Amino acid sequence: MGCCGGKKAPKKPPQQLHDEALAPDPDPGSKEPDPSTPHLFEEPDTTEIVPPVPPVQVNPPDFRIGLGALFPDFECRTTDGTFSFHSFLERQSHYGWTMLFSHPKDFTPVCTTELAMCTSLAEEFQRRSVQLIGLSCDSVDQHKGWTKDVLATKNVDPETTDEEELGFPLIADETREIASMLGMLDPLEICNVDRIAMPARALFLIGPDKRNRLTILYPATTGRNFSEVLRVIDSLHITHCGPEVGTPADWHFGEDVMPATNVAEDAFVDKAKEKPVPSGRRYMRHIPQPIMDSVQKIRPHAEVQPGDSDFRIKLGAKFPDFDWSATKQGINRFHHLLDRLKGDLTVMICWPRNFDPVATTELMGCLKFLPDLRQRRVSMIGMSCDGVESLGQWVKDAVSLSGSDEDSGFTMIADRNLNIAATLGLLPSDTAGHETCPARGLFVIGKDKTLRLSMQYPMTTGLNFAEILRVLDSLILTKDFKLATPANWQQRQRLLLDPKVSKTDASKFDNLAIQSLPSGKEYLRWVDCPKVKWFEEEVSPASPLDVEEWEPLSPPGKGQQEIRGKEPVEDKDAWCLSCGCGP
């Protein structure tokens, strides 16, 4: 069986059965609410801000923000000249990556700190064979003027440097053509000048085959953590170029990795550390990180055609309402479940299958994650594209490994027939009869049931739960205090005022400091982080490494297994590293 040969996409979505033992009360509406209890949920606001259609229309291809999606070609007018996007991708050989990241607008606070951070980390990206290209919805001339502010933020004297010292091009997209085509627009962020929606903070990591390998989609007020991006790139260097391994949740370079489930049990004699689990399955094995050559050919991603779901993963999109369980009492709808959970935000993580090593470490992370979520009034939902029976066994394995004395503590949905995965657009289309495998995704859903944030990592790269907690705190600070978090922000560090905050209101924040910039614009307004009760406890940083301390790829230490890099050999029966399916 070939790559991605695990499952077939459903033709029609029938009702999905769910284990009654794992499901919450199917009829929560049978009890009258206590009138003394404060209303945690308000009726969703039906008035939506619909951005005007951009003046120049693009006939968008069937591009979806998903792993394996082939990036469309388009003209790029940039600070480094005009060229096609595919020609820019082709500057990288079979050994390098391209990172495309969008910004809402020039001369805005969070965007400026992000560009400054990328400039500071330019050598780290180069060491990992990653070329950068940014996008913002302003002209090339404005980009060049903005560069001086960026360099000043980076503590570089703009008078002694040229305009191109950013080290990477910036695409001009005044009409939002490219941002609209790639699904980047954030309807919650409207430009005050032209009243058109601005792009979200979309980040794509693209392979030499022009296919998407990583997607991070943050709102305009949440600065990205580029140390986390470097961590994921380190993981991809090992998992997409070397032996068949995955990196567990919260992994950092130099730590143990996990062999794929199809790797023979005796493949790492005296090397693997195995953890027994109640199910009796032998899949939780850890081995020292392999030694990799500094230059490795990246495996091409299997061809993936876009799905036909009406739902597209973009900020502000209404999350689909689907049947997630059926019991004797009736059918439970997903929006009903969100109402029952009563979270200000809801985190939903989707896994392609049960008993996957990396996914199991993430499920363990979710169990440890719950107390932090409850403090923040955030709910949790898990979903696996496998059967109900094995789902219960898998949860018991994770509970045993995590040392928890309770069940999962949150709702787990079984999606054996892949109906929900297809509805969410996580499945490629099956027009040619090819078998498919669901992708993995993390979604943050707001109280109004719209998408606020999403991450799509390859199945071989475990999530970083400290990063998830960091972005949740950013969303909460934006909602409660009208604050924005700069690039690489960590809890309790100073914050930026949202541009919508007036000068009068700005003076009410503690220790307001306006940074002087060459443009003379006063948009970098720094304030102290508000006192939030969960910040009183020590919070693990999303990345333990600062810019100066970040280590480039290098051979692991003594005692780590030596597996020299080789050209990848195509094997139709091999385990698919990118999507996590098996033969």
| CA dihedral over 28, 422, 441, 580, signed as positive or negative | positive
Catalytic residue among 19, 209, 339, 407: 209
Name the strands in the sheet holding 81-84, side by side, starting at the edge strand that comes first in the sequence.
81-84, 75-78, 170-172, 130-136, 97-103, 201-206, 212-218, 451-456, 441-446, 345-351, 378-384, 411-414
Is 111 catalytic? The answer is yes
The token duo for 422 is 């297809």
Strand partners, 98: 131, 206
Is 209 catalytic? The answer is yes
Per DSSP, the residues of 98-165 read EEEEEES-TT-HHHHHHHHHHHHTHHHHHHTTEEEEEEESS-HHHHHHHHHHHHHHTT--GGGS-TTT
Q: How far is CA 259 from the centre of its chain?
A: 23
| 3-state percent breakdown (helix, strand, coil) of the chain, nearest 5 | 25, 20, 55
Residue type, 293: D
Sequence-separated (6 or more) residues with CB below 8 Å from residue 276 = 284
Compute the C-alpha angle 350/356/358, nearest 5°: 80
Give me the phi and psi of 351, to 5 degrees please.
Answer: -115, 145
Q: Which of 69, 66, 127, 73 is nearest to 95 (CA)?
A: 127
The token duo for 426 is 């996580």
Give me the phi and psi of 492, to 5 degrees please.
Answer: 80, -5
Q: How far is CA 455 from the centre of its chain?
A: 2
Residue type, 546: D
Kind of pairing between the strands at 97-103 and 130-136:
parallel
Alpha helices in 212-267, H assignment, sequence order: 226-239
Identify each DSSP E strand in 168-263 by its residue range: 170-172, 185-190, 197-199, 201-206, 212-218, 245-246, 258-259
Q: Which of 502, 523, 551, 513 is nearest to 255 (CA)?
A: 551
The token duo for 393 is 């066994």
3-class secondary structure, 430: coil
Catalytic residue among 3, 4, 76, 111: 111
For residues 116 and 41, what is the distance between their CA atoms, to the nearest angstrom?
A: 39
Residues with a known catalytic role: 111, 209
